Structure 1
Amino acid sequence: MKTRITFITAALAAAFAAAPAGAAESSAAQFLRLGFGARALGMGEAFTAVADDASALHYNPAGLAWSGIPEPKIAMFSHAWHIQDMGVSQAALMARPWAFGVTYFSAGQMEGRDDLGAATGDFTARDLALTVGRGFDYGELSLGAAVKYVGQKIGGVSAHAAAADLGALYKPEGSRVKYGAALTNFGTKIKFRSDAFPLPLTFRAGASAELSGAPLLLAAQADFPNDDGPSLRLGAEYRAAENFRLRAGYKTSSSEDRDAILGTELGGGAGGVSSLFGFFAGIGLNLGEFSMDYALAPYGELGSAHRVSLAMKF
């Protein structure tokens, strides 16, 4: 068992070391960075070292096997209303240590133009990701991996790619602090006709802590994307009552945020973003076997993104 753990940990470390490669190259399929679940969004997506529900499939697959998750089976549905009539629907089914997830992103109907600016008719843009993951529990250490299919369709042009996620969680015995790291979207390039683009590879590392004197969960995380500079995420979840949670988060601003909302492949811009850009807020309500979460992400003059998640434990 010790040899197996050492081998898996070494493989994970080697993959992490590859994360900065190609840092200056633009990436496609930015919808893969939109996150999963209203709880995580309300905490600023500082979730790599939390990863204690079905959204672990997206943030850190090591959480799928973590013994701190009380419910072995969780079904979750999440929908987000983004700016400019864009939306994303997501579903995940976790039967610990396995999970399966679907993400569908729609940019709505847009007006097409040729190189000279002449109208070419309306078109739609849709993205799809199918993911399956598994976690491995080794006591204080958990490891996880996920594989995914990525598909994009812009007008009449389709593109496909395959990717993998790797993750690790470590919580020393008797400690309230948990450490996490994940490498996401490591895979093939996605090709539109003659142009091929890398996927939005990101390495994340952080820590979370449950305070002993207050019903408060704190999290901090650093993100290192392949096509942008590093950023910092901070998140908090306060248990105001037995069945009610208040959440807040913050993420340092970078062009990655605007790409993930508007989509670089759609030619979106982000001018006029106010000082509220990067702040997040959310609430959560637990009703026995059911839970509902809501999150808000303001984007200044661009509007706001709203996300609602429903989950059932069984």
Structure 2
Amino acid sequence: MNMKLLIKFILLAGLIILSVDMFFPAITTGSDFQKIPKSARATALGESYSAAIDDIAAIDYNPAALNTMKSFGFSAMYHTWIDNSYGIYGAAGYRIGYFVIGGSFYYFNYGGIKEYDYFGNYVASYNPYDMNAKLAISADGGFLFDFLKGFSIGVCSSGIYRTLIDETIWGMTFDLGLHYKTTLAQLLQTKDDYFNETAGLMPVNFGFSIQNMGFAGEFSAPLRANIGISFGLFPDFYLSFDVTKDYVDTPVFYKIGAEYTILEILTLRVGVNIGKEAGTFACGAGIKYPFLFDNLRFDYAFAPLGVMGNNHSFSLYGEFLFGATFDDYYNKGIHYYYKQDYLKARELWRKALKINPKSIMIIRKLKALQETINFYQADKETQALTNYPYVLQLDSVKSGVSIIDNQVTFTFITKGNEVKSVSVAGDFNNWDNYSLSLYEDSESLPPYKIWKITTKMMAGIYQYRFMIDGKIYLHDVNNPVFIDDGKGKTNSILLVDYSGVRMTNTFEILD
């Protein structure tokens, strides 16, 4: 989808809002409990959630956004409200190809109500409550055309059951939603590679929904329309904006939310809802544990309601991944690449490559990424060397490997007399740092020292590195193929085939 199609998306949303305003100029409602937030995260963001939503609670905010789910997801919430009232919410959904189907259930209890006569004598007690069950489906536009991928539409039906003091009411409503998930680069379609690989990777979401089209008993449900946008300013910091047209009370609400994630675990949130008579401000926090399931998150929100007290909300959200897709690994790799966690990005892109080995895009990104990793690893080792009692400049070090038949010779050349010993370790000697100590060659000419060792090796692919004075690890600076060992050290790659040393792409060797 490009900018022109996005403009059509916004115009369509505006046309729907105007049409609803024309046919429903004034509404009296009998089920305001449907307006109560169903997500602690949504509450903390000031309910600016029609675009920002990315979990199963989309059923109650924008059914089209269900397509942000990867596989199976669930959500549960408990919140306190005015006086002794409270609400309990649960939802679950599952992806089937381009479609996501979900359902939710909400129970709201108003607390015990006692009835007294004119003289103050106790008459009876009541326990009124409301229930709301929803069923929703969302479809990704990629089901029809490739250029519509990321654009989704959703519908939701809702059954309402209310118990009042002396009567019961039932009703039915419908919701309609549109959602578009993209990145800044895809949206602008620029040809600037640097922009596309940096700021262009930031996510941008657009959302639109019409909620509660229907009735509850003799009254209409609380009809409202929402349109919003959410985007990232920089990694882990996101903003969301919503405008809500309420056809019952205040004509328009302006909602703004912000959230910032620390170390991918703790998220802080704040939001305002301008136009709301009470509870205009909200804040909250979330704790995410990404190592269990694909995403397990506990959210809390606090919203002061003035004379009506305070609202506390607690939500639990989780998602299972039953077989991640190529896009899942690729998009997550983009996320970590932008955060400069290159090793994590490489791990995810390699998984994507295993799913689609013919992806030229992934192959190119892996090659470019490996060059970036090599540069940073070389820089780290330069910094480590400068902390040694003497400075060993990398450009003054010469090293190499030569092979004659099955004899492999490692050579290391240093300048000056500071270096006292050099050894080589690798998976060919179980990384023993002392079993292959290089000796000083008699051909050494001051101020240089030539260190050598020759050993027999079977044909194969090996990783190795040098050790200086038993303290400094250094990869073979004249070998262009090396890899991080995941423990802060760099290993060079050696291919022994009895016909010389042949270098290939690192990721091809490892895979």
Report the TM-score when normalising by structure 1: 0.81
2:44 aligned partner: 42
| More helix per residue | 2
1:158 aligned partner: 168
Q: Would the aligned equivalents of 1:65 and 1:134 in 2 still touch at CA under 8 Å?
A: no
| Corresponding position: 1:183 with 2:183 | no
Q: Would the aligned equivalents of 1:65 and 1:142 in 2 still touch at CA under 8 Å?
A: yes
2:133 aligned partner: 130
Matches within 5 A, 1:18-29: 18-20=19-21, 21-29=23-31
Q: Would the aligned equivalents of 2:13 and 2:208 in 1 still touch at CA under 8 Å?
A: no
Q: Would the aligned equivalents of 2:131 and 2:161 in 1 still touch at CA under 8 Å?
A: yes
Letter in 1 for 2:42: A
| More strand per residue | 1
Letter in 2 for 1:29: S
Q: Which has the larger radius of gyration?
A: 2
Residue 50 of structure 1 deviates from its aligned partner by: 1.4
| Corresponding position: 1:90 with 2:117 | no
| Structure 2 portions without partners, runs of 5+ | 1-8, 142-148, 188-202, 321-511
For 2:14 and 2:264, locate their aligned partners in 1 and report how far apart those are by CA, in whole Å.
39
For 1:134 and 1:28, locate their aligned partners in 2 and report how far apart those are by CA, in whole Å.
26
Letter in 1 for 2:297: S
Residue 296 of structure 1 deviates from its aligned partner by: 0.5
1:219 aligned partner: 240
CA deviation profile, 1:67-120 (whole Å, cap 9, x unmatched)? xx4x31111110101121111100000112011100000001113367999864
Q: Find the residue that maps to 2:34 and give its secondary structure.
A: helix
Residue 14 of structure 1 deviates from its aligned partner by: 7.0
Letter in 2 for 1:84: D
CA deviation profile, 1:39-86 (whole Å, cap 9, x unmatched)? 1111111000112101111110001124xx4x3111111010112111
Distance 1:86 1:18, change over 3 A: farther
Question: In the alignment, which of 303, 312, 331 is matched to residue 306 of structure 1?
Answer: 312
| Corresponding position: 1:202 with 2:229 | no
1:99 aligned partner: 102
Q: Find the residue that maps to 1:36 and give its secondary structure.
A: coil
2:404 aligned partner: none
| Corresponding position: 1:297 with 2:297 | no
CA deviation profile, 1:155-207 (whole Å, cap 9, x unmatched)? 231011111110001245524322111001101x222xxxx211001101111
Matches within 5 A, 1:134-153: 134-138=137-141, 139-153=149-163
Letter in 2 for 1:129: N
2:56 aligned partner: 54
Letter in 1 for 2:253: S
Distance 1:200 1:172, change over 3 A: same
Question: In the alignment, which of 27, 34, 49 is matched to residue 32 of structure 1?
Answer: 34
1:268 aligned partner: none
1:264 aligned partner: none
Q: Greater RCO between the two (CA within 8 Å, min separation 6)? A: 1
Q: Find the residue that maps to 1:65 and give its secondary structure.
A: helix
| Corresponding position: 1:284 with 2:305 | no
> Mean Cα displacement is larger for which, 165-174 or 45-54?
165-174
Distance 1:115 1:101, change over 3 A: farther
Distance 1:113 1:249, change over 3 A: same
For 2:120 and 2:71, locate their aligned partners in 1 and report how far apart those are by CA, in whole Å.
55
Distance 1:113 1:202, change over 3 A: farther
Q: Find the residue that maps to 1:234 and give its secondary structure.
A: strand
| Corresponding position: 1:108 with 2:114 | no
Residue 11 of structure 1 deviates from its aligned partner by: 9.6
Report the TM-score when normalising by structure 2: 0.51
For 2:24 and 2:150, locate their aligned partners in 1 and report how far apart those are by CA, in whole Å.
34
For 2:213 and 2:119, locate their aligned partners in 1 and report how far apart those are by CA, in whole Å.
37
Q: Find the residue that maps to 2:110 and give its secondary structure.
A: strand
Distance 1:19 1:114, change over 3 A: farther
CA deviation profile, 1:219-272 (whole Å, cap 9, x unmatched)? 0001111112111110111112211100110001335x6xxxxxxxxxxxxxxx
CA deviation profile, 1:1-40 (whole Å, cap 9, x unmatched)? xxxxxxxx89987754443244433211111111211111
| Structure 1 portions without partners, runs of 5+ | 1-8, 258-276
Distance 1:171 1:236, change over 3 A: same
Q: Would the aligned equivalents of 1:250 and 1:280 in 2 still touch at CA under 8 Å?
A: yes
